[in-house]
């Protein structure tokens, strides 16, 4: 047996790595994503003033702070029995939409876009957003512009882009001026137009890539799917949790408050990230959340251009679609949806109404649930009569995708480990993970980056280690 | 021939990634920065994995695990100048609030005694061992420049990057959050402190004048005051002002107490007592740094334990 070590992995190589266990014949037995950071928010939040939770839990993740802030505030409003005014709900939906635009645009064009454009085997020194900007300057400019417009909605209504400050129990902490709202509304048409233009570009690239790499159209994870729905439509702010089977049929629909009876976290001895199972009728299933899951669970998006995009997607890949690579198309549909939703809410006269009602603190227990860009996000708090947090529990999107991510990794590795070069293995593995846009800082309430090292093991012994060299 | 462009490495340790997103939030100005520097390693943007030599190393996040420690050392070796970027790198940041708890307590709440986690083993294979607590960057490597903020406002990031690209030092003004807040600091007849959730805040008057505990006057302005300007008391996320850091006997709670005492009818002792009783909330962002730990705040773990008892 020959042991190949491409480059000794020092322990500093990244927060996450991939372990591939192979049989004696060289076939891949299993693949594992090891997540290597832990911050301990569940412990840290206990003893803090509960009304600070939106501000504090935003710090779980700098990529999706809005989602954490809204999940936290909904849990508090539930336990204090407060109904925020309609204007505040519209404003929060705009914040969530602006946030989704920033997150999806960033992923599609800056993180995954280079994969789509240059292909899996592209030159790694060029395969990044700077390389993409060199060859497609106009497109890169438009993509960054769209992200900026989304993030400016968060800045306008949230007080700032990263870690917005205005989401408070009882509503929104300030009254935006008519001029401020008019300025945001003025950019809405441009946003929708940009999203539609970029959607066509992204869709085209995706189909070209699928032609170039036909294996991608064989890589599917036939999983259950879960998301928040309201009137059969995707709902990012509220609704019920619906679980659909791999055939697309509804298996369960539960109120968010009942999550703990159905969702169970497990522990892998080899990772700080906890996988999640859904318990239903005596059995346990792993499931997927996020853009593709949402499109599989919901009947429609509820806005005209996004529904047209969805129809085109379903025409090409009928519902339910389990192809890992199609997370990208799902993100494209959602990007258009978010722009249309923001535009519709900004035009609402109700948005000009009062933004806040007073809150009376009491002891209680509350659960808040939203659809974050990467999937279902749940916050749960127990608060005492003085308004101090006594227990905090957080269930994050990427955790719920853990089983599917490992399965996709296994598929990617299987088709590349035997007989192909190291770079091909690394490219395929990283591409598979990127489809999920995993946010490891959320998932471990710690931080993460793309896996940097792939270790191939036989009988527990490392036979080959692959890292990307500059 | 023009001078060679300044080269940059970035690294992301234990933190939320928000400081890297903060750089994206330079928006249009990001293109001016990119026009003057060469980015070598940036884990969120490029595929470069190693630590090649660079003029400037931007480090986000604190040291939480052995991995973070080794990554920080590798950055120090590779970069001529290190910037501790964001409050986590400078002071430990929010997760520094775990200072009050042991590693085992944290592992307990996440793995062993968590409401939705089936009791099972605690991860120990393959993963890095956690440090005893969250450690600010400069306790592990030498730091040349500090840019706190959670994240720093784009205006400060732009000034820092463009100044360094052009070979001069950033302006880094030394003012408190009050300097950017438009509220009127007036004397009032308020007799009791209010909790953040009590009543409805006046839109124009200083929050301290109204009896709310706002940390703006003891917090360095790296944000342009988005919180107090929009009805939310400052929670000190950019860390303390120079005055608090450099004068041994001044502390957040005594300083705020004195100011509230001058502005209202509330006794300074009441403020000190209230802030000790809610130490985890008020000291969250900077309690992991020795600069705060060495002050008369050494009972901070006891204050926190008392609240949780």
DSSP character for A51?
G
Taking each continuous run of H as one helix and of E as one strand, the counts in chain A are 17, 17
Q: Which residue has the higher pLDDT, B278 or A107?
A: B278
Q: Which residue has the higher pLDDT, A450 or B296?
A: B296
Q: List CB contacts (< 8 A) between B21 and chain A.
A: 62-63, 161-162
- The confidence band for A3, taking pLDDT boundaries of 50, 70 and 90, is very low
Task: Tell me the three-class secondary structure of chain B, residue by residue.
Answer: CCCCCEEEEEEECECCCHHHHHHHCCCCHHHHHHCCEEECCCCCCCCCCCCCCEEEEEEECEEEEHHHHHHHHHHHHHEEEEEEECHHHHHCCHHHHHHHCCHHHHHHHHHHCCCCECCCCCCCCCCCCEEEEEECHHHCCCCCEEECCCCCCHHHHHHHHHHHHCCCCCCCCCCEHHHHCCCECCCCCCCCCECCCCCCCCCCECCCCCCECCCHHHEECCCCCHHHHCCCCCCCCCCECHHHHHCCCCCHHHHHHHHHHHHCCCCHHHHHHHHHHCHHHHCCCCCCCHHHHCCCCCCHHHHHHHHHC
Global model pTM greater than 0.90: yes
Q: Closest-CA residue in chain A for B75?
A: A12
What is the share, in percent, of chain A residues with pLDDT greater than 90? 63
Checking phi first, is residue B293 left (phi over 0); if not, alpha (psi -120 to 50) or beta?
alpha
> What are the φ/ψ torsions at residue A96 (nearest 5 degrees)?
-65, -40
**Cβ-based burial of A365 (10 A; exposed 0-12, middle 13-18, buried ≥19):** middle
Tokens of B269: 């002792």
- Kindly determine whether residue B123 and residue A264, on different chains, have CB atoms separated by under 8 Å: no
What is the distance in angstroms between the Cα of A288 and the nearest Cα belonging to chain B? Answer: 18
Residue A443 has pLDDT above 60, yes or no: no
Angle at B226 between CA B222 and CA B230, to 5 degrees: 160
What is the share, in percent, of chain A residues with pLDDT greater than 70? 90
- The confidence band for A419, taking pLDDT boundaries of 50, 70 and 90, is low
> Of A237-246, A351-360, A446-455, where does mean pLDDT reach its minimum?
A446-455
Q: List CB contacts (< 8 A) between B180 and chain A.
A: none
pLDDT of res. A338: 98
pLDDT of res. A2: 31
Query: Cβ(A430)–Cβ(A450) under 8 Å?
Result: yes
> What are the φ/ψ torsions at residue A204 (nearest 5 degrees)?
-60, -45
Residue A278 has pLDDT above 90, yes or no: yes
Element at A4 (helix H, strand E): strand A4-5
- Kindly determine whether residue A43 and residue B304, on different chains, have CB atoms separated by under 8 Å: no
Residue A349 has pLDDT above 60, yes or no: yes
Q: How far is CA A190 from CA A107, A150, B75, in A?
A: 20, 11, 42
pLDDT of res. A14: 43
What is the distance in angstroms between the Cα of B156 and the nearest Cα belonging to chain A? Answer: 14
Q: Where are the domains of chain A?
A: 41-400
**Cβ-based burial of A457 (10 A; exposed 0-12, middle 13-18, buried ≥19):** middle
Residue A16 has pLDDT above 80, yes or no: no
According to the per-residue pLDDT averaged within each range, which of A36-40, A347-351, B61-65 is highest?
Answer: A347-351
Give me the helices (H) in A159-221, please: 178-186, 188-212
- The confidence band for A75, taking pLDDT boundaries of 50, 70 and 90, is very high
- Chain position carrying tokens 């007989």: A419
- Kindly determine whether residue B74 and residue A36, on different chains, have CB atoms separated by under 8 Å: no
pLDDT of res. B56: 95
Interface test with B, best of A45, A258, A272 (most B CBs within 10 A): A272
- The confidence band for A365, taking pLDDT boundaries of 50, 70 and 90, is very high
Cα A34 from Cα A28, distance rounded (Å)? 17
Q: List CB contacts (< 8 A) between B232 and chain A.
A: 55, 159, 165-166, 168, 173
- Chain position carrying tokens 């940041």: B93
| pLDDT tens digits for range A118-176 | 877 766 667 777 778 888 888 888 998 999 999 999 999 999 999 999 999 999 999 99
| pLDDT tens digits for range A375-399 | 999 999 999 999 999 999 999 998 9
Instruction: Spell out the residues 6+ positions from residue A342 whose beta carbon is closer than 8 angstroms to its own.
Output: A94, A97, A98, A101, A150, A153, A188, A191
Q: List CB contacts (< 8 A) between B222 and chain A.
A: none
Give the domains, in start order, of chain B with CATH numbers. Answer: 6-97+125-165 (3.40.50.700), 177-308 (no CATH)
Q: How far is CA A82 from CA A86, A164, A168, A351, B97, in A?
A: 12, 21, 11, 19, 29
pLDDT of res. B246: 84
pLDDT of res. A446: 33
Element at A241 (helix H, strand E): strand A240-244
pLDDT of res. A203: 92
Closest in A38, A152, A388 to B110, CB measured? A38
Residue A222: helix, strand or coil by DSSP?
Answer: coil
- The confidence band for A93, taking pLDDT boundaries of 50, 70 and 90, is very high
- The confidence band for A11, taking pLDDT boundaries of 50, 70 and 90, is very low
- Kindly determine whether residue B14 and residue A47, on different chains, have CB atoms separated by under 8 Å: no
Angle at A195 between CA A189 and CA A201, to 5 degrees: 140
Mean pLDDT of A189-216: 92
Cα A436 from Cα A328, distance rounded (Å)? 9
- Kindly determine whether residue B121 and residue A269, on different chains, have CB atoms separated by under 8 Å: yes
Residue A356 has pLDDT above 70, yes or no: yes
pLDDT of res. A108: 81
Tokens of A338: 């978010």
DSSP character for A33?
E
pLDDT of res. B72: 95
Does ipTM come in above 0.90? yes
What is the distance in angstroms between the Cα of A253 and the nearest Cα belonging to chain B? Answer: 19
State which residues of chain B have pLDDT below 70. 1-3, 44-49, 120, 293-298
| Cross-strand pairs, B220 | B176
pLDDT of res. A418: 65
Closest in B16, B231, B281 to A174, CB measured? B231
Helix, strand, coil shares, percent, chain A, to 5: 45, 20, 30
- The confidence band for A13, taking pLDDT boundaries of 50, 70 and 90, is very low
Count of beta carbons in the 10 Å neighbourhood of residue B187: 10
DSSP character for A349?
G
Residue A208 has pLDDT above 50, yes or no: yes
Query: Cβ(A165)–Cβ(A159) under 8 Å?
Result: yes
Mean pLDDT of A65-92: 97
Tokens of B78: 């590779």
Q: Closest-CA residue in chain B for A123?
A: B47
> Of A214-223, A227-236, A313-322, A449-458, where does mean pLDDT reach its minimum?
A449-458
Q: Closest-CA residue in chain A for B278?
A: A48
Closest in A12, A43, A380 to B105, CB measured? A43
Residue A346 has pLDDT above 90, yes or no: yes
The b-or-e profile of B106-129 (16+ CB within 10 A means b, else e) is bbbbbbeebebbeeeeebeebbbe
Q: Closest-CA residue in chain A for B123?
A: A269
Interface test with A, best of B36, B116, B134, B233 (most A CBs within 10 A): B116
For the segment(s) A41-400, the CATH number from 1.10.645.10, 1.10.274.10, 3.40.190.10, 3.30.365.10 is 1.10.645.10
């Amino acid at each position: 047996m020959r042991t190949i070590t491409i480059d000794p992995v020092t322990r500093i190589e990244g927060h996450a790595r991939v372990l591939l266990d192979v049989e004696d014949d060289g076939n891949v037995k299993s693949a594992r994503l090891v997540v290597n950071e832990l911050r301990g928010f569940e412990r840290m939040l206990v003893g803090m003033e509960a009304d600070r939770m939106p501000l504090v839990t935003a710090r779980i993740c700098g990529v999706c702070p809005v989602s954490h802030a809204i999940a936290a505030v909904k849990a508090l409003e539930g336990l204090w029995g407060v109904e925020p005014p309609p204007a505040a709900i519209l404003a929060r939906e705009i914040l969530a939409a602006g946030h989704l635009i920033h997150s999806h645009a960033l992923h599609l064009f800056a993180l995954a876009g280079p994969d789509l454009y240059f292909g899996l085997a592209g030159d790694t020194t060029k395969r990044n957003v700077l390389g993409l900007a060199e060859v497609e300057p106009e497109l890169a400019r438009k993509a960054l512009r769209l992200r900026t417009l989304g993030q400016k909605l968060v800045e306008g209504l949230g007080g700032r882009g990263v870690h917005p400050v205005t989401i408070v129990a009882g509503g929104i902490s300030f009254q935006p001026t008519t001029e401020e709202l008019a300025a945001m509304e003025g950019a809405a048409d441009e946003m929708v137009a940009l999203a539609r233009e970029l959607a066509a570009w992204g869709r085209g690239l995706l189909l070209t890539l699928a032609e170039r790499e036909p294996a991608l159209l064989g890589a599917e994870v036939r999983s259950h799917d879960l998301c928040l729905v309201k009137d059969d439509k995707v709902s990012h702010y509220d609704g019920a949790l619906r679980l659909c089977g791999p055939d697309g049929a509804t298996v369960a629909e539960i109120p968010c408050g009942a999550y703990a009876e159905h969702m169970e976290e497990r522990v892998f001895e080899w990772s700080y990230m906890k996988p999640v199972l859904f318990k239903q009728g005596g059995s346990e299933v792993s499931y997927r959340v996020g853009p593709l899951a949402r499109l599989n669970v919901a009947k429609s998006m509820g806005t005209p251009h996004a529904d047209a995009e969805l129809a085109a997607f379903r025409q090409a890949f009928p519902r339910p679609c389990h192809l890992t690579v199609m997370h990208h198309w799902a993100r494209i549909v959602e990007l258009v949806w978010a722009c249309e939703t923001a535009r519709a809410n900004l035009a609402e006269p109700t948005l000009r109404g009062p933004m806040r009602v007073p809150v009376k603190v009491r002891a209680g227990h509350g659960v808040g649930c939203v659809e974050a860009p990467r999937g279902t996000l749940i916050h749960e708090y127990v608060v005492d009569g003085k308004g101090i947090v006594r227990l905090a529990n957080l269930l994050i999107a990427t955790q719920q995708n853990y089983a599917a991510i490992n399965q996709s990794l296994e598929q990617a590795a299987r088709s590349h480990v035997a007989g192909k070069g190291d770079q091909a293995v690394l490219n395929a593995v990283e591409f598979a993970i990127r489809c999920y846009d995993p946010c490891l800082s959320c998932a471990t309430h710690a931080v993460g980056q793309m896996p940097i090292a792939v270790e191939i093991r036989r009988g527990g012994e490392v036979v080959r280690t692959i890292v990307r060299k500059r | 021939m023009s001078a060679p462009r300044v080269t940059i490495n970035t690294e992301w340790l234990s933190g939320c990634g928000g400081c890297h997103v903060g750089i994206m939030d330079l928006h249009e100005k990001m293109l001016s920065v990119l026009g003057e520097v060469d980015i070598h390693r940036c884990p969120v943007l490029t595929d470069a994995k190693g630590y090649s030599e660079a003029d400037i190393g931007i480090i986000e996040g604190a040291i939480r695990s052995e991995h973070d420690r080794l990554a920080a050392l590798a950055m120090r070796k590779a970069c001529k100048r290190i910037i501790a970027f964001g409050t986590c790198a400078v002071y430990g940041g929010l997760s520094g609030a775990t200072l009050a708890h042991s590693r085992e307590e944290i592992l307990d709440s996440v793995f062993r005694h968590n409401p939705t986690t089936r009791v099972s083993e605690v991860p120990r294979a393959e993963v890095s061992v956690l440090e005893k607590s969250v450690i600010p960057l400069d306790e592990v490597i030498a730091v040349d420049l500090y840019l706190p903020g959670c994240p720093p406002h784009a205006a400060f990031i732009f000034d820092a990057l463009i100044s360094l690209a052009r070979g001069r030092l950033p302006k880094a003004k030394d003012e408190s959050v009050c300097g950017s807040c438009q509220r009127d600091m007036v004397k009032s007849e308020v007799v009791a402190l209010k909790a953040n959730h009590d009543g409805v805040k006046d839109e124009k008057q200083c929050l301290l004048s109204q009896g709310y505990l706002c940390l703006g006057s003891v917090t360095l302005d790296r944000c342009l005051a988005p919180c107090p300007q929009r009805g939310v008391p400052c929670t000190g996320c950019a860390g303390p002002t120079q005055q608090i850091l450099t004068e041994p006997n001044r502390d957040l709670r005594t300083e705020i107490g004195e100011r509230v005492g001058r502005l209202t009818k509330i006794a300074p002792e009441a403020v000190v007592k209230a802030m000790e009783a809610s130490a985890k909330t008020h000291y969250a962002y900077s309690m992991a740094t020795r600069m705060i730990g060495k002050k008369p705040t050494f009972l901070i773990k006891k204050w926190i334990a008392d609240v949780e008892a």
